[in-house]
Amino acid sequence: MTPDDIQAFYARRGELDAEAYIELDFTFECAGDPREAAAHLCSEQSTAQWRRVGVDEDFRPRFAAKVLELDATPRPSGFSIRIEHAPKGDVYACRATIAHPHGNFGPKIPNLISAVLGEGVFFSPSIPLIRLEDIRFPAGYLAAFQGPQFGIAGLREKLHAFGRPIFFGVIKPNIGLPPEPFAELAYQAWLGGLDIAKDDEMLADVDWCPLADRAALLGAAREKAERETGVPKMYLANITDEVDRLIELHDLAVARGANTLLVNALPVGLSGVRMLRKHARVPLIAHFPFIAAFARLPQYGVHSRVFTRLQRLAGFDVVIMPGFGARMMMPESEVLDCVAACLEPMGSIKPALPVPGGSDSAATLEGVYRKLGTVDFGFVPGRGVFGHPMGPRGGAASLRQAWDAIAAGVPVADAAREQAELKAALAAFGGK
């Protein structure tokens, strides 16, 4: 690029119509001039050849992505990860904010992903390592999406659960149980105080545990538990399947007795979720398979909060995400970023309930709550409820006992002296 060509991919915020652009924060490592690398990054993701041969025209003013901010720091040690065919030259670690004109593609999830995570971003000259750190949408773009139908407030209304976390539990054994004992486990957990008994993300519509039978039995068990406890409960049925079955499985599961539905967001595709959202009559809950494949490394891929935002945009009422604790291998700040992406203002889009999960139990509840600093979260043990030594009723009770102690300002360990379920939970799961 000539100096003039490079300059044409730079702008000041005030020069642009903010409503016409999505803002993208990238970090990247490049070889050679960072200013030219960032210009190429804009060109490649928007108008890569901005005039016809022999024609005096320039598509950049309207169609080019533009660098708003750029910081570059030399990395004398070179690229932080070795890449085949990495470009040669002095290496810089950079942070750039880019304004991308969304009129190039419109309010459509597949085209948005193609623009901000496509060939132009990952194959830009001199940039072998790049990570999309964040994304911000103007209000007019957001207004084209429905977002969550119920959101946190709607979910709380349905559960009559206010001023406290929502208690989920992943029914275990997750794979292998037929519907009858599976329903019995959920029933026990609801009696113990669980709000939402949940299919594992790997348990979908299978011949050894068909969704139709499961939804019917769990639905009946749910209604029985509601009658006996006097409070609403939810069965979260996993309808993850081919996109052309989502509507059918929604209707089937809801008709039989499921009153909230799980979809593995990325494996199904967020566009399939957006389609389902138009039809859905119950809350939609996201699980996170596949996201870690591009979200774990600090130097490359996508920050998790980008897909948290996109899941909220696509219409999920609840986003289950990797949470705290060594097993999830997430920096604490990144978990908090994802939680914030669910809760913070997003134009016309309702908040979604964040559910940071990972090897949780009554022993981890207080730590999670203190880190989040809000009651607007879901808590989703698996073994912590269904592997509890006293069974799922005891496991669920241990969560509620722990929360009651926290809410009352009583140390959880003190409360455990009086309550057998909590005591057993701390003994079984408190070692970490």
- Name residues contacting its own copies, limited to 22-51 (CB under 8 A): 45-51
Give the closest residue to 125 by CA, choosing from 1, 35, 2, 37.
Answer: 37
And the tokens for 66?
Answer: 């533009």
DSSP conformational letter for 328: G
Task: Verify binding: residue 1, its own copies, rule CB under 8 A.
Answer: no
Residue 106 CA to residue 432 CA, distance in Å, equals 48
Nearest 5°: the CA angle 321, 291, 328 is 50
Strand duo 91-101 + 21-31: pairing: antiparallel
Q: Contact 353/156 with Cβ under 8 angstroms?
A: no
Taking the alpha carbons of 147, 151, 155, 157 in that order, is the dihedral positive or negative?
A: negative
Interface residue with its own copies, options 153, 383, 413, 420 (CB under 8 A) = 383
In the window 46-75, what residues touch its own copies (CB under 8 A)?
46-54, 59, 62-63
Interface residue with its own copies, options 33, 69, 114, 413 (CB under 8 A) = 114
Task: Verify binding: residue 304, its own copies, rule CB under 8 A.
Answer: no
Residue 64 CA to residue 307 CA, distance in Å, equals 24
Shortest separation between residue 62's beta carbon and its own copies, angstroms: 7
Give the residue with the Cβ less far from its own copies, 193 or 272.
272
Instruction: Report cis status (omega within 30 of 0) of the bond before 101.
Output: no
Residue 123 CA to residue 129 CA, distance in Å, equals 10
Task: Verify binding: residue 147, its own copies, rule CB under 8 A.
Answer: no
Task: Verify binding: residue 411, its own copies, rule CB under 8 A.
Answer: no
In the window 77-96, what residues touch its own copies (CB under 8 A)?
81, 83-87
Shortest separation between residue 158's beta carbon and its own copies, angstroms: 26
Shortest separation between residue 366's beta carbon and its own copies, angstroms: 20
| 3-class state of residue 301 by DSSP | strand
Residues in the chain: 432
DSSP H helical segments within 102-210, as ranges? 109-116, 119-122, 139-142, 151-159, 179-192
In the window 245-284, what residues touch its own copies (CB under 8 A)?
264, 266-272, 274-275, 278
Task: Verify binding: residue 375, its own copies, rule CB under 8 A.
Answer: no
How many residues touch its own copies (CB under 8 A)?
Answer: 99
Shortest separation between residue 73's beta carbon and its own copies, angstroms: 18
Give the residue with the Cβ less far from its own copies, 149 or 299.
299
Task: Verify binding: residue 111, its own copies, rule CB under 8 A.
Answer: yes
And the tokens for 220?
Answer: 């009946």
Which listed range, 23-31, 110-118, 341-349, 362-370, lies at the site for its own copies (CB under 8 A)? 110-118
Which listed range, 1-9, 30-38, 103-111, 248-256, lies at the site for its own copies (CB under 8 A)? 103-111
Interface residue with its own copies, options 90, 290, 418, 432 (CB under 8 A) = 290
Q: What backbone phi and psi angles, to 5 degrees, belong to 314?
A: -70, -15
Task: Verify binding: residue 204, its own copies, rule CB under 8 A.
Answer: yes
